[in-house]
Amino acid sequence: MGKELWRPGNMLYPLPVVMVSVADTQGNYNIITLAWVGTVCSDPPMVSISVRPERYSYKILKETGEFVINLTTRELAYATDYCGVKSGRDVDKFREMNLTPLPASEVKAPLIAESPVNLECRVTSVQPLGSHDMFLAEVVAVHADEKYMDEKRKFHLEKADPIVYSHGSYLSCGEQLGTFGFSVKKS
C-alpha cells in the first residue's frame, strides 16, 4: 500500500466547526460558521479564528474586536450549515434558524443559547495571511450549559453530541476511546 503525493494544502482534519456570533456597533447580530478555529494558548486563554475579508462578519469583527465562539452539536448541524452558506447581508440567521441570542457577560456579541459552550472573546491582533485573516483573541468568559454537568459539577460535552467538519462533511464525534494519560496509567 503506497501513498499518493498531493500538492500542499490544509489536510488537518477533522476540525471543530463552530458558530461565531458578532454584534455590529448598532447592536445588529450575525452568525458566521467557521471551521478554521483553534486553541492558541492556555494562560492566558487564547483562540484564533480565520475569516475571509469578503465575508459579511469580517467588517464587524474588525470594527468591534469582539465575538463569541459557540460550540455546535448534532442538533445544531442544520443551523450550523445554514449560517455558513447564507449571508447576514441578506438574512437574520437567529430568526431564520430559531436560535436564541443571550446577553454575554463581557462582550457585546450575543451567546447562542442552544450551544452547550460559549466562549466570549476579545481580539488582540489581526494577522493578514492571504485568503484569510487570522483574528487572535483572548477568551474573557466561558459559559457552559448546566444540563451537561453531573452531580459533582463535572462538565460532559460528549453528552451534547458535538460535531466536527472534514472535507465538506459534518461528522459526529463518536465514542470515547480513552482519557488523557490512559496509555501510561497503571492498572
- Give how many domains the chain has, as a whole number: 1
Beta strands per DSSP E along 24-116: 29-34, 37-42, 45-51, 66-71, 101-102, 111-112
Q: Residue 114: give the domain boundaries.
A: 15-172
Residue 79 falls inside a structural domain? yes
Residue 126 falls inside a structural domain? yes
Residue 177 falls inside a structural domain? no
What is the pTM assigned to this prediction?
0.95
Residue 10 falls inside a structural domain? no
Say which amino acid occupies 102. L
Residue 81 falls inside a structural domain? yes
Residue 1 falls inside a structural domain? no
43-96 pLDDT per residue, tens: 999 999 999 999 999 999 999 999 999 999 999 999 999 999 999 999 999 999
**70: exposed, middle or buried (C-beta count within 10 Å: 0-12, 13-18, 19+)?**
buried
* Cα four-point dihedral sign 132, 136, 141, 142: positive
What is the domain-level CATH number for residue 128?
2.30.110.10
87-122 pLDDT per residue, tens: 999 999 999 999 999 999 999 999 999 999 999 999
Residues contacting residue 11 through CB under 8 Å, at least 6 positions apart: none
- Tell me which residue has cell 474588525: 62
Residues 12-25, mean pLDDT to the nearest whole number: 95
